[in-house]
A and B are shown apart, each in its own frame.
Chain A
């Protein structure tokens, strides 16, 4: 059945029972599977890939030598959870959340559990997750954990067990939502027919919960931020995605500062108080003053601000101490003692070697065990002792004996399997379900979904995204009753919201990235146009005129630094300029910079804009094989269209806030510089030969305008007039300066100093410099122009770079921090 799916491994299978019969909650989707042929799967699989690409869903892998991000991998088959299973898990996670908080309150408070012998002291003291500076902190509401994740696995009898807890900054919330968006799209009919529970109300609860955490009572105005380690973090995609979905600004540690023991966001308009931080930065990196001093991801004084009670942290610092699997054997006792309840969701049976008896048990019969580090997550993969040869095994056991408290042992697990599409058929693969819960009232509610992962290969036990796992959307079967969230929405009275225009609150760093996003977009366009101009002339029928023009273009390229001076044969440099990311100024180099800056300001860009950035990257790839001028030209044509689309999206769809303004500033400065550099270089060459003017007009996208005005072959003075001084030409320098003048008048007010003028003063002086240029003065013959214009161009470029520095100095300057 189902393209030959069978429960071949004799373990619990999520879809079929031991007799190969479809489980009841798979009925609807199973019906669809039965109708589907291989071709349907392939088509839908392609749809998934396309959507993942378009949405730019990635997972960054540190170990990856190329340092690039890996596309997210999503199976087209969902993992379906029955109502009964979900109810049990929901109750179990509610209890677990309360239990984790109770343990944390004690460990960072009176430490009765240690004194009363319910927790071995070594389990806490040797645990690097135990943060001594947190001792005595009383977080607002008394809670450390507001949202957590649990990796669940099913044993052979079909019972769910906890494999791991994620209590600091659990990742996966955003990926789970993104998976759902894609799956609901690809399987729209089956999804709607299956009465699957929606995720929206869970996220709405999360949003409300975070709002309610604000220590200051300022409904609707609380400063709530999402803290990320930045674009190089493994899961940056979901930080940006969630920030946008929940509507909270995404910030990095350097965007924040502690003043008067309160946390503030550095915005273009000054400091703004912060009330709630949703952190995606691990405990020890959050504060270089009191935690890891080498951390560049945190904010000095964050812990003091938290201790002082001015902010709520979701989750609280130090929560990492309960993530250790060494805690598992103690959970039933802790649950009884702290909550007076029996533990509902059991943990995977675990032995902590920090205890004498447990250590002896492991050493006595090593082959029974899988051992893994107790405290440092991901430090190394679990080791199957039975798989080691005798020498390796002896070494491993010595390692354990030397520091037994650093190890836990578990019996080899037989994980349940779930049907997974391999590209040609459906196979059973081992499954881990990361379920999520968030605080609500005194307890926790569970996301009706989650992030399921299956092993990348059959017969493999290890299931992590880091090691190439495949994710699955998790569908929880509902009873078809209307979602209370939507019901409430209907019943809710309309709240009167007065129209407001609060300060933008754009973090300075984000403005900085947007500014450079603008600059690199223009720089990329100039480089693309120059290359295209060269290639068209190389590829076309080579008339003598074009031959001259090629030489001229090559000297322009040399002037821009794209090829070394004195290059004779441009052709040999072209492949590298189109493909080598290490070559400064090459297309991939500029593209990488553009993308980096866009990614770092991701939460300020719309999904469509982001899609365009992703498309740009895709379109820039040359087809594999030998370098062909024709296909390279095709690539360049597409890039120009993509860049135009980005510019159009910026002009037509982006809010005219400070973010937009800085993007625009960067764009205009760069475009003016590009035109000035090209014009200066071309004028210099014009002394001998004016064949450069045609490509120059072409690169500056002004050919049509010139023709309409002059109906003649380009000559020097009119060309210069059109490119420098004619303000009806949107590519002219004067046009850029006029826009810069208007923009700088709208920037946040900054005091000018004797050494640094304001952006406005600088643009005014640029405009007056340019207006002093006269091309029609009879005293100036062609030779005179050829001398003076390059000088003027060079000076203006210098002044524009100064404007860029002034903007940096006034608005972005967030110098690096130096730990002492």
Chain B
């Protein structure tokens, strides 16, 4: 599938900002199953400085400074992305989850132990017995890892209620597990916490999902949103496999990957520090348009 994506972020500040420093992670990644032939970011007011680099997870990030009094910042990212359907993997053919766990925990260096970087707790995603206990019923002894992951994916989908009013971006993962409510970001973080608490490497993936309008209706502009899901390490042969607990699916060509990391903190689309902003209002509008419509 080919998509045109427009991601518009607007900050409105109560009082004028004199200086702002920002980092944006808005460029879709180039991957074996995904290409980004064209991408641009336009920023208003025009930044004095702009520098691009790859972060430690290989995401593209753009640093920019805005100097001079302003009360509004607008960042528009436009991308053209081509995504191939995921290769079918037979979950029952994947190694037992304990084997993956032990390989990642090894003292010595191996591809698996390097993937193990994502098996530890991180700033926003803790690990612990509560998460391991919740995950346990999906992970009986010697179950193939992807089978277990699909089961956990389904259980989170069924046990949790999608409720944007229940959480905000700062709600701790333990609380989400307790309330069983939240949005895609919360479900992804709960699932990651479960997997890591069992010793499996899991990463947080941010990106977009093409949404379809209800039957008979026209798709509204700006109706899409950023999306978040999970990627799990399934051993050296299979590698990383994505899972989307919000929709109980293994992502294919309707998911567009922008960035990944340990948690939301590593992939935040726009992070900034301003001086003198006072209260601020954030508006985000995303359009994921299949090419040819």
Contacts known (A133-B56, A402-B128); A355 close to B273, Cβ less than 8 A: no
Residue in B120, B277, B280 whose Cβ sees the most chain A Cβ within 10 Å: B120
Contact A308–B51 (Cβ < 8 Å): yes
Contact A289–B272 (Cβ < 8 Å): yes
- Look across to chain A and name the residue whose beta carbon is closest to the beta carbon of B67: A259
Contact B273–A817 (Cβ < 8 Å): yes
Total inter-chain residue pairs, C-beta < 8 Å: 105
B117 contacts A by Cβ under 8 Å: yes
Interface residues as binary, B125-168 with A (CB distance below 8 Å gives 1, 0 otherwise): 00111000000000000000000000000000000000000000
Contact A259–B116 (Cβ < 8 Å): no
Contact A815–B275 (Cβ < 8 Å): yes
A304 contacts B by Cβ under 8 Å: yes
A-side contacts of B280, CB under 8 Å? 818, 820
B107 contacts A by Cβ under 8 Å: yes
- Look across to chain A and name the residue whose beta carbon is closest to the beta carbon of B274: A818
A547 contacts B by Cβ under 8 Å: no
Contact B107–A356 (Cβ < 8 Å): yes
- Look across to chain B and name the residue whose beta carbon is closest to the beta carbon of A118: B109
Question: B233 CB to closest chain A CB, in angstroms?
Answer: 13
B-side contacts of A121, CB under 8 Å? 109, 113-114, 116-117
Contact B114–A114 (Cβ < 8 Å): yes
Contact B275–A817 (Cβ < 8 Å): yes
B227 contacts A by Cβ under 8 Å: no
Interface residues as binary, A252-284 with B (CB distance below 8 Å gives 1, 0 otherwise): 000001111100000000000000000000000
- Look across to chain B and name the residue whose beta carbon is closest to the beta carbon of A288: B273
B63 contacts A by Cβ under 8 Å: yes
B23 contacts A by Cβ under 8 Å: yes
Contact A122–B273 (Cβ < 8 Å): no
Interface residues as binary, A396-420 with B (CB distance below 8 Å gives 1, 0 otherwise): 0000001101000000000000000
Instruction: Provide the bound-state CA to CA distance between A288 and B276, in Å.
Output: 15
Question: B122 CB to closest chain A CB, in angstroms?
Answer: 9
A interface, over-half SS:
loop
B285 contacts A by Cβ under 8 Å: no
Q: Which residues of B from 33 to 58 have beta carbons under 8 Å from A?
A: 48-49, 51, 53, 55-57
Instruction: Provide the bound-state CA to CA distance between A436 and B186, in Å.
Output: 47
Question: B131 CB to closest chain A CB, in angstroms?
Answer: 11
A-side contacts of B18, CB under 8 Å? 815
A-side contacts of B265, CB under 8 Å? 293
Residue in A260, A261, A308, A820 whose Cβ sees the most chain B Cβ within 10 Å: A820
B-side contacts of A258, CB under 8 Å? 21, 65
B-side contacts of A114, CB under 8 Å? 109, 114
A-side contacts of B128, CB under 8 Å? 402
A116 contacts B by Cβ under 8 Å: yes
Instruction: Provide the bound-state CA to CA distance between A554 and B265, in Å.
Output: 59
Contact A260–B48 (Cβ < 8 Å): yes
A713 contacts B by Cβ under 8 Å: no
A-side contacts of B67, CB under 8 Å? 259
- Look across to chain B and name the residue whose beta carbon is closest to the beta carbon of A126: B120
B266 contacts A by Cβ under 8 Å: yes
Question: B253 CB to closest chain A CB, in angstroms?
Answer: 30
A-side contacts of B276, CB under 8 Å? 815-816
- Look across to chain A and name the residue whose beta carbon is closest to the beta carbon of B18: A815
- Look across to chain A and name the residue whose beta carbon is closest to the beta carbon of B111: A115
B-side contacts of A126, CB under 8 Å? 120
B78 contacts A by Cβ under 8 Å: no
B105 contacts A by Cβ under 8 Å: yes
A819 contacts B by Cβ under 8 Å: yes
Question: A165 CB to closest chain B CB, in angstroms?
Answer: 22
Question: A429 CB to closest chain B CB, in angstroms?
Answer: 39
Question: A576 CB to closest chain B CB, in angstroms?
Answer: 38
Q: Which of B11, B53, B273, B277 contacts A300 (CB 8 A)?
A: B273
Interface residues as binary, B230-249 with A (CB distance below 8 Å gives 1, 0 otherwise): 00000000000000000000
B179 contacts A by Cβ under 8 Å: no
Instruction: Provide the bound-state CA to CA distance between A712 and B114, in Å.
Output: 92
B225 contacts A by Cβ under 8 Å: no
Contacts known (A289-B273, A402-B128, A817-B273); A125 close to B49, Cβ less than 8 A: no
A142 contacts B by Cβ under 8 Å: no
Q: Which residues of A from 331 to 382 have beta carbons under 8 Å from B?
A: 354-356
Contact A820–B272 (Cβ < 8 Å): yes
A-side contacts of B57, CB under 8 Å? 132
Contacts known (A122-B116, A259-B67, A355-B107); A132 close to B21, Cβ less than 8 A: no
Contact A120–B108 (Cβ < 8 Å): yes
A502 contacts B by Cβ under 8 Å: no
A-side contacts of B84, CB under 8 Å? none
Interface residues as binary, A776-815 with B (CB distance below 8 Å gives 1, 0 otherwise): 0000000000000000000000000000000000000011
Question: A149 CB to closest chain B CB, in angstroms?
Answer: 27
Question: B87 CB to closest chain A CB, in angstroms?
Answer: 28
Instruction: Provide the bound-state CA to CA distance between A354 and B106, in Å.
Output: 9
Interface residues as binary, B68-85 with A (CB distance below 8 Å gives 1, 0 otherwise): 000000000000000000
Q: Which residues of B from 1 to 34 have beta carbons under 8 Å from A?
A: 11, 18-19, 21-23
A-side contacts of B11, CB under 8 Å? 820
Contact B23–A290 (Cβ < 8 Å): yes
A117 contacts B by Cβ under 8 Å: yes
Instruction: Provide the bound-state CA to CA distance between A260 and B275, in Å.
Output: 16
- Look across to chain A and name the residue whose beta carbon is closest to the beta carbon of B266: A132
B219 contacts A by Cβ under 8 Å: no
Contact A301–B21 (Cβ < 8 Å): yes
Instruction: Provide the bound-state CA to CA distance between A257 and B116, in Å.
Output: 37
Instruction: Provide the bound-state CA to CA distance between A304 and B21, in Å.
Output: 10
Residue in A115, A403, A815, A819 whose Cβ sees the most chain B Cβ within 10 Å: A815
Instruction: Provide the bound-state CA to CA distance between A488 and B211, in Å.
Output: 76
Contact A261–B127 (Cβ < 8 Å): no
Instruction: Provide the bound-state CA to CA distance between A402 and B121, in Å.
Output: 12
B-side contacts of A117, CB under 8 Å? 108-109
Interface residues as binary, B86-126 with A (CB distance below 8 Å gives 1, 0 otherwise): 00000000000000000001011100011011001100000
Contact A125–B109 (Cβ < 8 Å): no
Interface residues as binary, A285-306 with B (CB distance below 8 Å gives 1, 0 otherwise): 0001110010000001100100
Contacts known (A120-B108, A132-B56, A356-B107); A125 close to B120, Cβ less than 8 A: yes
Contact A133–B65 (Cβ < 8 Å): no
A-side contacts of B272, CB under 8 Å? 289, 820
B-side contacts of A817, CB under 8 Å? 273-275
Contact B113–A122 (Cβ < 8 Å): yes
Contact A814–B109 (Cβ < 8 Å): no
Contact B63–A304 (Cβ < 8 Å): yes
B-side contacts of A257, CB under 8 Å? 19
Instruction: Provide the bound-state CA to CA distance between A433 and B263, in Å.
Output: 41
A136 contacts B by Cβ under 8 Å: yes
- Look across to chain B and name the residue whose beta carbon is closest to the beta carbon of A398: B129
Contact B56–A136 (Cβ < 8 Å): yes
A135 contacts B by Cβ under 8 Å: yes
Contacts known (A125-B116, A258-B21, A259-B65); A115 close to B274, Cβ less than 8 A: no
- Look across to chain A and name the residue whose beta carbon is closest to the beta carbon of B73: A820
Question: A297 CB to closest chain B CB, in angstroms?
Answer: 13
Instruction: Provide the bound-state CA to CA distance between A120 and B121, in Å.
Output: 17
A-side contacts of B271, CB under 8 Å? 289, 293, 820
- Look across to chain A and name the residue whose beta carbon is closest to the beta carbon of B129: A402
Contact B107–A820 (Cβ < 8 Å): no
- Look across to chain B and name the residue whose beta carbon is closest to the beta carbon of A298: B273
Q: Which 8 A-B pairs have the closest CB atoms?
A: A300-B273, A815-B276, A132-B56, A300-B21, A125-B117, A135-B56, A126-B120, A117-B109
Given contact pairs A117-B108, A136-B56, A818-B277, enumerate 11 new A-B contacts (beta carbons under 8 Å): A114-B109, A122-B113, A125-B117, A125-B120, A133-B55, A261-B49, A289-B21, A301-B63, A356-B105, A818-B273, A820-B274
- A to B CB contacts below 8 Å, 19 in the list: A114-B109, A120-B107, A120-B109, A122-B116, A136-B53, A257-B19, A259-B49, A261-B49, A261-B63, A301-B273, A304-B51, A354-B107, A814-B275, A815-B276, A816-B275, A818-B280, A820-B270, A820-B272, A820-B273
Residues of A participating in the B interface, judged by any CB pair closer than 8 Å: 114-117, 120-122, 125-126, 132-133, 135-136, 257-261, 288-290, 293, 300-301, 304, 307-308, 354-356, 402-403, 405, 814-820
